[in-house]
Amino acid sequence: MLLLELLRTCPDELLSKRLSQIITFAGTGKLVDAGNTSAQLREVLSHVPLEVLSRWGQEAVQGGFEGSGFALQDVVNEIGRRLGFTVRPGSYRGGRDEPYDGLWESGEGHCMVVETKTSDNFTIDLNKLADYRRQVLTSKKLREQDSSILLVIGRQDTGDYEDRIKGSRYAFVMRFITVDALLRLLALKRATTDEYEAASLSAKVFELFTSPKFTGLDAVVDLVAAAPVLPILTERRGGHPWGDDDQKSAADRRAAEALFNKVRSAGVSGVARGHLYRGFARMGTKRFGELLDRLINGHLLRTRKIGKKTIVMMGEGTFKDELLLALAKCYEDGDPRGLAPSDIAVAKRFPSEVPARVAAELRAEGSIEPKGVFADIVRFTDVGYQKYLPRIRALREMRRGTE
């Protein structure tokens, strides 16, 4: 039986097992490149709760079973994926095409070559890691400043890594961090429920991992984790997207609503900014630009460059409305299957990182709950449906008015 099927049918039993037992259950019971055991393990790692991922990660660090270093490599790559990176697993034994343990790419296109070791008892050849990075630079046609190297060490005894890196010619492109610090960063992200705070935290993580100011990252993570929980402020100009009563006229609010509805009616492909302006030319370029900026800063709209054109599309704030409407339909139809926010994001062409942030916000306030053990499949709670029912009705009325 596949591990994912076991997780679906017997979640408590499977999640109580040790990582070594999980590997034994899958495929041939041995982690090899392109093997079925590896594929099943990675699939299960992507679905388990953070507490289980953390426990299994510590078991891999302690070792004591065959392939523990390979398992740790998969756990670390899963942490990177949950932190918001696009992760490409490498090879277990240093293959020619993918000699690294993992390749993590940020939303801005920065690539990190990731090397994982259970402790500093293993010798790491910095020149070899630099060769891996050069290989990535060539294959992806990146600039030097768009790639770096991250060493992930299992145990806290990081030895002389910092001195070796600082004394080398790679000091500006190499960083190191422990598995424990990575898990604490992931816990901080999970505790961040506001979508703007989550976006800001992800940006800070990317900056930390790529900044030439630091070599060892654990001390920075310790400082952040020990600090009191304070809101992460992001700049949001223009007040409410429709305009604040004491600052914006009713005409401005109506114009902003009309502008938003025009983009929404264009569907998933969006509308060219120039074409959009032609429908609102009577208000003038300055006022049009102000209203559009307000909707973009309010995360209801976003822009994307396609060739020489600027395309205006639905933004992250709108995804929540789409999710609420879809959840309401399932709830009212008595559909027990739930739905995956990521499926809505794909259908509506929202960025891939949006559904997790919005779903986390709704889960934290108790409005939705996971369907079974699969956290990515959710459904409305009774309380959540009643809370959002007025908004759902208003959204439906607005949609009927523009159809």
Predicted local confidence at residue 403, as pLDDT: 47
- Which of the listed residues 226, 260, 293 is the one where a domain comes to its end? 226
Helical packing angle, 68-82 and 179-191, nearest 10°: 30
In the predicted structure, residue 315 carries a pLDDT above the cut 80: no
Q: Are residues 167 and 39 in the same domain?
A: yes
Q: How many structural domains are present in the chain? A: 3
| Confidence grade of residue 103 (pLDDT, cut at 50, 70, 90) | very high
CATH number of the domain that 281 lies in? 1.10.10
| Confidence grade of residue 156 (pLDDT, cut at 50, 70, 90) | low
Q: Are residues 295 and 337 in the same domain?
A: no
In the predicted structure, residue 347 carries a pLDDT above the cut 80: no
Whether this prediction's pTM lies above 0.95 is answered by no
170: buried, middle or exposed (CB in 10 Å: 19+, 13-18, 0-12)? Answer: middle
Q: Are residues 273 and 322 in the same domain?
A: no
Q: Per-residue pLDDT averaged across 117-145, rounded?
A: 83
| Confidence grade of residue 304 (pLDDT, cut at 50, 70, 90) | confident
Q: Are residues 327 and 293 in the same domain?
A: no
Q: Are residues 286 and 387 in the same domain?
A: no
Q: Are residues 121 and 34 in the same domain?
A: yes
Q: Are residues 221 and 285 in the same domain?
A: no
DSSP assignment of 243-262:
--TTTS-HHHHHHHHHHHHH
Predicted local confidence at residue 230, as pLDDT: 37
Percentage above 90 pLDDT, the chain: 18
pLDDT tens string 201-255: 677 788 788 877 788 888 888 766 654 443 333 333 344 445 544 445 677 778 8
Q: Are residues 356 and 368 in the same domain?
A: yes
Name which of 24, 46, 33 is nearest 374 in CA terms. Answer: 46
Predicted local confidence at residue 232, as pLDDT: 33
Q: Are residues 46 and 169 in the same domain?
A: yes
235 domain-assigned: no
DSSP assignment of 52-72:
HHHHHHHHHHH--STTHHHHH
79 domain-assigned: yes
- CB-based contact 41:3 (threshold 8 Å): yes
Q: Are residues 7 and 145 in the same domain?
A: yes
Domain hosting residue 147, numbered range: 3-226
- Which of the listed residues 274, 290, 314 is the one where a domain comes to its end? 314
Does residue 215 or residue 192 have the better pLDDT? 215
Predicted local confidence at residue 108, as pLDDT: 73
* CA–CA gap between residue 397 and residue 394 (Å, rounded): 5
Q: What are phi and psi of 113, to 5 degrees?
A: -80, 120
